[in-house]
Amino acid sequence: MEFNKTRLDGVVIVTPELFGDDRGFFMETYNISDFAGAGIPESFIQDNHSRSSRGVLRGLHYQYPNWQGKLVRVLRGEIFDVAVDIRGGSPTFGQWLGVTLNEDNKQQLYVPPGFAHGFCVTSETADVAYKCTTVYRPQEEACILWNDPDIGIQWPLDSPLLSGKDAKGMSLQEAARNLL
């Protein structure tokens, strides 16, 4: 596996080694020793799978005070995946990173605890699988508005399909006050 650090401390793009022939392919998507060796010591304790249609945007979600890290990959289709640093005192607070994950590049994005996460679907449909470092606690979930101008994410769509919860996300500044 190849681990590429990004400009946001802790966010890593993971590219599995692919073994393929005319029958198909095999790849290892997670190995605790490889991840720990790359500086990702977290253990994953919950796996999730979502399916969404083109134009759906999910996020920007985070869980607090029991932060949740995620290892995200696409099984089918394509997404634009985003991590936003919301760690208090971080030199990159409020900065974002976006990457395209799809069934062809087979890359994964590790979003560490302390980040908000979201994605939008750029293919007809997308199946997204992600491992989590803590269990989901609905009472701790929060959402930052997907188009907050203080963050300035350059999403590849203008009018996403949002859940009611995501449409009512708070601003980055409001989230920062809640995290103090």
In the chain, what are the domains? 43-179 (2.60.120.10)
The yes-or-no answer on residue 49 being catalytic is no
pLDDT tens column, 118-155:
999 999 999 999 999 999 999 999 999 999 999 999 99
Of 62, 110, 117, 130, catalytic: 130
The yes-or-no answer on residue 117 being catalytic is no
User: What three-state secondary structure class fits 37?
Assistant: helix
Using CA atoms, how far apart are residues 123 and 10, in angstroms rounded to an integer? 28
Digit-by-digit pLDDT tens for the chain (180 residues) are: 999 999 999 999 999 999 999 999 999 999 999 999 999 988 899 999 999 999 999 999 999 999 999 999 999 999 999 999 999 999 999 999 999 999 999 999 999 999 999 999 999 999 999 999 999 999 999 999 999 999 999 999 989 999 999 999 999 999 999 886
Phi, psi at 80, each rounded to 5°: -105, 115
Of 61, 62, 110, 117, catalytic: 61
What pLDDT score does 42 carry? 83
- Sheet with 70-76, strands from edge to edge, namely 2-5, 12-15, 108-111, 70-76, 125-132, 46-53
